Chain A
Amino acid sequence: ILNVEQSPQSLHVQEGDSTNFTCSFPSSNFYALHWYRWETAKSPEALFVMTLNGDEKKKGRISATLNTKEGYSYLYIKGSQPEDSATYLCASRSNDYKLSFGAGTTVTVRA
């Protein structure tokens, strides 16, 4: 079981502001880091999968970085919009196919 931690647990952002939050994971036996976006009453939707130290991925206004040596990843939302309101889950994968999920960061964007 990999101990994956996310912080903060929740945050409120004003529409138009940018924000970021953290996922930390054990760096030993690391294989991949996944980010999912999870809206209420829906199923988690994959955002990014990263494997290499220094990886950066971007999808629209959302981007993520990965530091495998120190065991953390940042997710950034630029110019937050109300539709960005969701819980963002990160999950770490070791040398098998299992994912260990953090508890998530719930983002609420206020108009």
Chain B
Amino acid sequence: DAEITQSPRHKITETGRQVTLACHQTWNHNNMFWYRQDLGHGLRLIHYSYGVQDTNKGEVSDGYSVSRSNTEDLPLTLESAASSQTSVYFCASSESGDGPYEQYFGPGTRLTVT
């Protein structure tokens, strides 16, 4: 069965370190998204991609970057981790083209920056 996975599931890192969170989907979806979940805010979009070599900033992109070298993966990098980036991170993917396609979410990565 097709799925979307994230790794690691839990990560503790120190302020100032570079951290990369992995997202891998086997749906063959063109669209991929990264969100962070914070209390009182629901899910906020960090970065998104509509296909290979395409990346775009979301509403809370400062301090984060992504790259899309193939269809299956969209790794999220925190360039220099800050305590404000302690959060739960969700990756999602969806079909492209005409249609109100739903997004499928990964299991999440809980990141703690100390």
Instruction: State the A residues within 8 Å of B (CB).
Output: 1, 31-32, 34, 42-46, 49-51, 89, 91, 93, 97-104
Q: Which one, B63-71, B72-80, B104-112, is touching chain A? A: B104-112
A103 touches B100 (CB 8 A): no
- Given A1-B59, A98-B33 in contact, is the A89-B102 Cβ separation under 8 Å? no
Within the complex, the shortest CB–CB distance from B8 to chain A, in Å, comes to: 15
User: Does residue B50 face the partner (Cβ distance < 8 Å to A)?
Assistant: yes
Q: Does B31 contact A (CB under 8 A)?
A: yes
A66–B105 alpha-carbon span in the complex (Å): 24
Known contacts A1-B59, A44-B90, A101 near B102 by CB under 8 Å: no
> In whole Å, how far is B56's beta carbon from the nearest beta carbon of chain A?
9
Q: A44-B105, A46-B104, A103-B42 are known contacts. Are A97 and B90 too (CB-CB below 8 A)?
A: no
In the complex formed, the residue of B with least CB distance to A41 is B108
> Closest CB of chain A to B76's CB: distance in Å?
16
Q: Hey, which chain A residues are within 8 Å of B96, CB to CB?
A: 97
How far is the CB of A78 from the nearest CB of chain B, in Å?
A: 23
Known A-B contacts A97-B31, A97-B94, A98-B33; A43 and B45 likewise in contact (beta carbons under 8 Å): no
In the assembled complex, the Cα of A42 lies from the Cα of B96 at a distance in Å of 25
5 contacts between A and B (CB under 8 A): A31-B100, A34-B102, A89-B43, A101-B44, A103-B40
Interface footprint category on B:
20 to 34
The contact of B100 among A1, A51, A102, by CB within 8 Å, is A51
Establish whether residues B100 and A32, one from each chain, have CB atoms under 8 Å apart when the complex forms.
Answer: yes
Q: Which residues of B contact A49 (CB under 8 A)?
A: 100-102
Q: Is A101 touching B43 in the complex (CB atoms < 8 A)?
A: yes
How far does the alpha carbon of A43 sit from the alpha carbon of B35 in the complex, in Å?
12
CA distance A101 to B44 in the complex (A): 7
Contact among A1, A42, A46, A103 for B107, CB-based, below 8 A: A42
CA distance A76 to B112 in the complex (A): 36
Check A103/B102 contact, CB under 8 A, given A1-B59, A43-B107, A98-B48. Answer: no
Task: Enumerate chain A residues within 8 angstroms of B105, measured Cβ to Cβ.
Answer: 43-45
Contacts of B50 in A (CB 8 A): 97
